[in-house]
Chain A
Amino acid sequence: SQQGEEDPQALSIQEGENATMNCSYKTSINNLQWYRQNSGRGLVHLILIRSNEREKHSGRLRVTLDTSKKSSSLLITASRAADTASYFCATDAVVGTSYGKLTFGQGTILTVHP
């Protein structure tokens, strides 16, 4: 089953604009991870945020986590055409000692127009 729900399902913006994607989940988590996937390719790990962290930055990426609302957001600033891809959030849920298993959402398809 899909724990993470991304919103929106698709996002189309112009180069230079910011892109914000949201993710909601249902159960308690150890951490939440964001991945990028170009069409037909494997997933690229972008950023991991732990349950005791509220915000994390990596280059043009900013991730927030609100465990009280069970939600996260990914902000890509100053987007580029090369950022065009599908973006997935994935949760590592607290289930006994079964750490590590990721549950993915359906993803947000981001299109950045030059």
Chain B
Amino acid sequence: DTGVSQDPRHKITKRGQNVTFRCDPISEHNRLYWYRQTLGQGPEFLTYFQNEAQLEKSRLLSDRFSAERPKGSFSTLEIQRTEQGDSAMYLCASSLERAGQFFGPGTRLTVL
């Protein structure tokens, strides 16, 4: 499978716990994006990387959120001290520069 993959697909956690999601982009894509989507809404941009450099972060990305792309390949998104408002679908996408973005299946987070 040469598409974008995300792991896990579902995560249920208790409020206050930390969670980490992984995204494996399409191998030749140098850009990687994280978005968050809540029910009935379109995705909202969180952050993006060009190779290993994190070039932009949304104001939605509070200090409890951190993302890394250590070798310019896969990326992780960590949420510390989760809150119920963090419950959402977290989507990862990758692209070449100035090309369409290809999305993974998403990680659905439920914070109890």
Tell me the bound Cα distance from A2 to B23 in angstroms. Answer: 25
The residues of B that contact A107 with a CB separation of less than 8 Å are 41-42
Q: Total interface residues on B, using CB and 8 Å? A: 28
Expressed in whole angstroms, the Cα–Cα distance for A39 and B86 within the complex equals: 20
B21 within 8 A of A: no
CA distance in complex: A31, B97 (Å): 12
- B98 contacts A by Cβ under 8 Å: yes
B103 touching A106 by the CB < 8 A rule?
Answer: no
Find out whether the CB atom of A101 lies under 8 angstroms from the CB atom of B56.
yes
Asked if B105 and A45 make an inter-chain contact with CB atoms under 8 angstroms apart, the answer reads no
Q: Chain B: residues with CB nearer than 8 A to chain A? A: 4, 31, 33, 35, 40-45, 48, 50, 55-56, 91, 93, 95, 97-106, 108
B50 CB contacts on chain A under 8 angstroms: 100
Contact B95 A100 (CB under 8 A): yes
Knowing A41-B105, A98-B55 are in contact, say whether A104-B44 is a contact too (CB < 8 A).
yes
